[in-house]
Each structure stands twice: as C-alpha cells, then as structure tokens.
Structure 1
Amino acid sequence: MNPSTRTHRFASALRAAPLAFALLLAGCATHLIDRGDYLADTTHRAQSADSRIRFLVMHYTEIDEAQSLNVLTTESVSAHYLVPENPPLRDGRPVVWQLVPEAQRAWHAGVSEWQGTTELNAASIGIENVNLGPRDTPQGRVWQPYPPAQVEALVRLAKDIVTRYRIPPTRVVGHSDIAPQRKTDPGPLFPWKTLYDAGVGAWPDAATVTKELAGRAPDAPADVRGLQQKLARYGYDVATDGVLDERTRRVFAAFQMHFRPRDYAGAPDAQTDAIAQALLDKYLPDVAHEAEPSR
C-alpha cells in the first residue's frame, strides 16, 4: 500500500470514530444513570441479589391519628405507612399516609426476631394502623375494633406490598409475633383472616386442624416442649426446654392472638398445638418434623 492510500484510510477512520462512539453511547443510553459527578452503567445486572424487604409487620398506634402523625414524624420512631381509622377517598380509592420511602429503613420493630432474622427494621415494611388498642374496664380488658373502611384500605395496601416484594405468607406478622416479650399489637381483633382471604399472610386450614387434634378436646393439655418446638420452627423466638415460664407463655399468647384470638391466655392446649402443626404442614413442610435443639 502506498503512503497516500494509507493516509487516506487513516483519515477516514478518524472521521468515523466519533460516529461509532456516538452510536455506542446511544445504544446504552437507556442503561446510564446520571449521578452528577459520574455515570452508572446498569447494562449488566448481577443474578445474586434480592430485595431488602422480606417481611411485613403490622402495628396499632394506641393513640389517635393526629397524635400518631406527630409521633411518627417527629420522634425516634417511624413506620412506612399509617392507615387512618376512616381513610378519605379520592377517585373511589382510600388514601393512606406514607411516612417513609419503602427503600429506606423505618424504626418500627425495635429489638425483634423472626425466622432467625434479628433487627426486623432492616428487612421489613412497617404498617401502623390508627387504633387505641386495649382499655381496661371493670368488666375486663376491651380492645378497639378495626372499622371496615380501615380494613379495606389495609387489605389493598398489604396486598400490593406482598405482591411487589413476593413476601411469603409466614413473613406477614404482627409486632407481638416478632417481639412477644414486650408487645401486644396489633391485638386480637386484627383482621388476620380477612387479610388471608385477600391473599395476604398465613392461616391454618380448618380440616387440617381437626385432623391434627386427633380426637383430643381443644382445651386438653399439650406437651410444652413439643409446642415450643413447633413455634420455633414457624418463626418465633422461643426456648425449647419444656419449661412453661412467663416468657414461654407470652410467646404462646402471641401465637394465639394471631391464630386463635378467642382465647389468648397463653395456655399450652391441644387446639393451639394442632393449629401450629397445621401451619407447619401447609407452609413449612420441609422443617415440620426436624429436630429442634434445646436452647
């Protein structure tokens, strides 16, 4: 090749380079995120990753809506959502308060544990429901019900969250489930069955509970250690030493408040044992009969 031909081709390549570079940028422009001082190219996505959000935790506020908004926005406690007692409607849809972006951590769970995960704040979305909780009267403890409009809004919100983040049924829990030694919210009147019917959370099948009772009277005594083991497998932070102390009773009561709210005294009875086994059979069959070490 003579020198003039080589020079001509080199000049043509230089003229084409900007066009090629522009086409390259145009091809990946949709994958570029402008972060000010640099660009992040998201063309390649790692397969080994999952969502930060793996649990949905339900609460009640114990104070009214105005007080709840004040506390949850000015003090060292927060939640992602606050559902009013009577949510306003816009275009026929209920309006709930979102106080913390879902991608950020809210301070709603405190010291907590579920299915071996501690500090649930870092891995959950928290929903506060405006509800005054328990009130002690001369006739005994009375719990405030959850109004239908509030339940409807909660169902829509919770269903959206579990769908988007693929949260398994056994990871939709109450504050009392993840911190049974110090919390009772969302209480025995919380609409767990209504949520389940809408596709949110877990619930035992009645036929399986009957089968697991195996002819026992519902209030017949159950083996303490056996029930402890079942609840530990399901997710509760509970000892499996067979000792019916106050800590174990609180765990039994939290479970009953969730799945057998007519009686949540914390007694280890046959119906509670049957419900626990029915839940394991339905949702966690791979661990339903594994040995649980004492602790």
Structure 2
Amino acid sequence: MKKSLTVSAGLGLLLSGCAGFEPHAGWVEDRGQYKADTTSYRAISQNERIRYLVLHYTAVDDEESLRLLTAGGASAHYLVTSIPGSHGGKPVALQLVDDDKRAWHAGVSYWNGRHNLNDTSLGIEIVNLGYTDEASGRRWHPYQPAQIELIERLAADLIKRYGITPDNVVGHSDIAPLRKSDPGPLFPWQTLAARGIGAWPDPDTVEKYLAGRPPTARASVARIQQALAKYGYRIEQTGTLDEATRLVITAFQMHFRPADITGEPDAQTEAIALALVEKYRS
C-alpha cells in the first residue's frame, strides 16, 4: 500500500507539472482545434521519408507521357520531356507530384530489404521510346544531351536535399527486374556516377575480382546470385541459371555493363557485382 501511495503521488506531480506547461507562443503552431509545439522537443530517431531516387523512361511521346502521368493510374514526381523547355536560361523539369507526396511510379518493387518503393522514393520519368524490336534485333532509343543535362541538375539537387546515397539511385529495372527494362542500356549511368549521381564500381576492384580470368569466362551462378542479393537485388538463391536469374542479371548488366546485356553469368558480371558489394555494403 505504501508503494502504491508513493507511485500515485509521483504521477500526480507529473500530471500537475504537465498541466502547468505553457510553451512560448512563438513555438506553437495553431492547427484549428488544437495547437502543436513543433520546436521545443525533437526526437533523435528519425530520418528522411525519401531514401531512393528511381529513374524511368516513359516508352511513349511527350503528349502521351503527360496524359498517362496526370490522368490517373501511374504518376511520377518529375517528368523530363524530349526537348526540355527553358526559363531564365535554365532547363525546366515538370513537377507532377510534390516531393512530400507519394507518386505511383515504382509499383511492385524491392531494393536492399525494402519493398514497395513508392512509399520511400522519388520518381523521375524521362520521355524516351525505350526500344523497338526489329528484324535485326532490339534497337534501343538514345537519350538527348539536353535531357541528360537536366537529369544531372535535377538528380543532384534531390540527392543533396534528401541525403540519398549513391547505391539508392536506381533504375526501374533494378527494383523490378522481372517486369521492367527502363531506363535501359543507353542511359549514361557511368557518366552520371562520375558527377556524383549514383553508384559505380572502382575499376581496380573489378580487376581484383576478375583475378586474371577473361571477362567472358563462365562464372558461378550461385556466387553471382549471392552478390546481387547482397548488393540489393531481389533474386532467388537457386544456384541455377533459370529465367528469373537471367532477367535479374540482364537488369544488372544494363546498369553496370551495358555493352553486353545477354544475361550470361560471366566473370566480368561477377567481378562488378563483388566490387559493388565491397564498396557499398562492407
């Protein structure tokens, strides 16, 4: 009983103290039916909602891109048109969704332990037709220099503002490799990485993991699956070159080895994957 009285007395003092708390008027935000003190006490355990930047191509022209991204269904935070406009001497990106809102651009997705990246990402759609299948094979459509210049400026700003790490700047095909191929092998990942936008392996580390093997030498499927999973891709650890594994390897090659995107599990692919793991996951 004595212990209960002590606890009750302590709680009473605490409640009494709370009841008498009067924050400074300048600290309080009026929200209609109540007010919130938004500055006096701040929790340490927090980070930005935005952790990923996802690049896409639209696969259609400017007019259809705008219709699809604004009329319902799919959406993205930004659209880079085929020939970006200019205002005051600076290129203009079209913002379709505010940064603090959730756009519907990633769909069913996964990256490095996190599912459904719509919740935690910004999406940039780029007007580009993607590819055309012809008698001679698949022809990928190039990006325009003005588009890349704008993407570099836009991405650099978003990365700085939200503290997005290089390994979390990804393509749609990285986070949904079984169903997506954008932004494709002609997107200049290496050029952008050299300017601080996105991840890229160190050449010396790639050579270390090649260990004297020819780049096209057959490599261990199991080891490639393990390295890709550790870097961030969703890939089943089957140890065999099944169709899903080939699609994931192709997505990886489009990003980091676009000269050869056959999906073959070769030594260079393995070395690049291991170099990325060493650089960004160690």
The offset of 1:138, in angstroms, is 2.0
What code does the residue aligned with 2:204 have? A
Task: Summarize the alignment of residues 106-145 of structure 1 with structure 2, pairs less than 5 Å apart.
Answer: 106-145=103-142
Match of 2:185 among 183, 188, 193: 188
Deviations 1:146-205, CA, capped at 9 Å, x for gaps: 111100000111111111111111111111011001000000001111211121110011
Residue 232 of structure 2 is matched in structure 1 by 235
The structure with the largest alpha-carbon Rg is 1
What code does the residue aligned with 2:37 have? D
Give the secondary-structure state (helix, strand or coil) at the position aligned to 1:100: coil
Distance 1:44 1:91 in 2: 42
The offset of 1:241, in angstroms, is 2.1
After alignment, is 250-259 or 85-94 more displaced? 85-94
Match of 2:152 among 151, 155, 158: 155
What code does the residue aligned with 1:37 have? Q
Residue 53 of structure 1 is matched in structure 2 by 50
Residue 39 of structure 1 is matched in structure 2 by 35
Gaps of 5+ in 2: 1-21
Deviations 1:98-134, CA, capped at 9 Å, x for gaps: 0111111100011111001001111110110010000
Residue 9 of structure 2 is matched in structure 1 by none
Give the secondary-structure state (helix, strand or coil) at the position aligned to 1:222: coil
What code does the residue aligned with 2:155 have? A
Deviations 1:265-288, CA, capped at 9 Å, x for gaps: 100000000101111111111xxx
Aligned residues: 261
After alignment, is 252-261 or 194-203 more displaced? 194-203
Residue 7 of structure 2 is matched in structure 1 by none
What code does the residue aligned with 1:207 have? D
What code does the residue aligned with 2:42 have? R
What code does the residue aligned with 2:257 have? R
Residue 15 of structure 1 is matched in structure 2 by none
Give the secondary-structure state (helix, strand or coil) at the position aligned to 1:107: coil
Residue 85 of structure 2 is matched in structure 1 by 88
The offset of 1:28, in angstroms, is 4.1
Distance 1:90 1:237 in 2: 41
Distance 1:34 1:88 in 2: 40
Give the secondary-structure state (helix, strand or coil) at the position aligned to 1:69: helix
Distance 1:28 1:245 in 2: 64
Distance 1:36 1:146 in 2: 49
Residue 101 of structure 1 is matched in structure 2 by 98
Gaps of 5+ in 1: 1-23, 286-295
Residue 277 of structure 1 is matched in structure 2 by 274
The offset of 1:251, in angstroms, is 0.4
What code does the residue aligned with 2:264 have? A
Distance 1:215 1:206 in 2: 14
The offset of 1:38, in angstroms, is 2.4
Match of 2:166 among 159, 162, 169: 169
Match of 1:246 among 228, 243, 246: 243
Relative to structure 1, the CA distance from residue 241 to residue 249 in structure 2 (aligned partners, 3 Å threshold; closer, same or farther) is same
4+ residue runs of structure 1 moved beyond 3 angstroms?
Answer: none
Distance 1:39 1:94 in 2: 41
Please give the TM-score of this superposition, normalised by the length of structure 1. 0.86
Please give the TM-score of this superposition, normalised by the length of structure 2. 0.90
Give the secondary-structure state (helix, strand or coil) at the position aligned to 1:136: strand
Distance 1:273 1:267 in 2: 10
2:68 aligned with 1:75, yes or no? no
What code does the residue aligned with 1:56 have? L
Identity %: 57
